Amino acid sequence: MTLGNASWGLSLPASDGMGVVVSAEDLARRRATGLHVAGRKMAENPGIIGVMLIGSSARGEARPESDVDLLLFNATTMCDDWLVRHYYESHDGYMIECNEIAASAGLDVEKALSDAYWVSGVHDGLVLLDPQGRLTSAQQRIRAAFMEPARLRRRLGPVIETVGRNVQGLHGAVEAKDRAVFCWRLSFALWTIGDALLVRRGRAPSRFHGLERLRASDPDEWRTMLQLQGLAEVSAAEALEQLAFFEERRVIVGGTLGAFRGMAGRGAHREALHVAWSELGLFIRERVRAGEEGGLAAAGATAEKWLSRLGWDDDVLAAKAPELAGFFAHVGWACDGGLPSADTACMGGTP
């Protein structure tokens, strides 16, 4: 098999605002493990034409709790959606996240350049196996056009629109005095605001590590996001106590527990709580959409207890909606302001 662009220079980032990365030796082992699994997957499935390492192990930002993330490009599956199959397996002490995708969609350069979440992984990825050279060619074209203003605006537009929907949903939750939906909408709005700020700078959006990345690149926005969630002055001890609340109620479970503990252990305790908010949002959204009475009651009770722990009464909740709307307007302009000749209409604004 032909090795792709995996010429593994192992210089690690001196500082990315996210604490200490794994050693160069550990990073090399992660990449070698990814290559080994990639070779096995291609041998098992002739339809897989290439494999790319993405995520923190590709960027040199892996933490001890990080997975090894692989994209497996399958040429025998034809569909418009990228993801065909997603699963995990363990190898050599590492958790391997395998994302099998349709090569017809995954190697569509124009489609990739329009998707804020997909394109960053391919742009930053490390081609492991690429016998036909198709992955390397697509990646080179993506990198060449990645920061073109028109393409960047196109990627940002849907992200900003998603923020706007959640801001509007927060206003509705305040009016209805629905604390469960309030938690859901506030957490999702701030999650996607963080995504927009990272996309604007050409960085990969991330629900788990986005706020950590913003700490170095956008410190004012980072602090505002923490303040909007009541987390700016939380100590490490308080954060661990609050995380225990989410664990006890099974809002955070399984492999995510290790990620939260790793974040708190490296001083990112406030960021860990920010992500726990998004886990709570997902927890509530699933139960609201399912519409089951027992699930809705559990979601409402969890939200009520969480807001009570923060000391947020109805007056505080009512004040959050205009605060978030103002921040959203600021972020819309901030994202737009970094792009020449931007169309402000597509960048959103106060809903």
Hey, how many other C-beta atoms are within 10 angstroms of the C-beta on 189? Answer: 26
pLDDT in tens, the chain (351 residues): 444 555 444 443 433 444 568 899 999 999 999 999 999 999 999 999 999 999 999 999 888 878 899 999 999 977 666 788 899 999 999 999 999 999 988 899 999 999 998 899 899 999 999 999 999 999 999 999 999 998 998 999 999 999 999 999 999 999 999 999 999 999 999 999 999 999 988 888 988 889 988 998 899 999 999 999 999 999 988 988 888 898 888 888 766 777 787 788 888 899 999 999 999 999 999 988 888 888 889 889 999 999 999 999 999 999 999 999 999 988 877 776 555 433 333 333 322
Domain positions in the chain are 24-145, 149-347
Residue 93 DSSP one-character state: T
Nearest-angstrom CA–CA distance, 299 and 303: 6
Dihedral pair phi/psi, residue 259, rounded to 5°: -65, -45
Q: Which two tokens stand for residue 103?
A: 């090569």
What is the strand order of the sheet 126-129 is part of?
Answer: 83-91, 94-102, 68-74, 48-54, 126-129
- According to CATH, the superfamily of the domain at 24-145 is Beta Polymerase, domain 2 (3.30.460.10)
Nearest-angstrom CA–CA distance, 277 and 258: 16
DSSP E strands in the chain: the ranges are 48-54, 68-74, 83-91, 94-102, 126-129
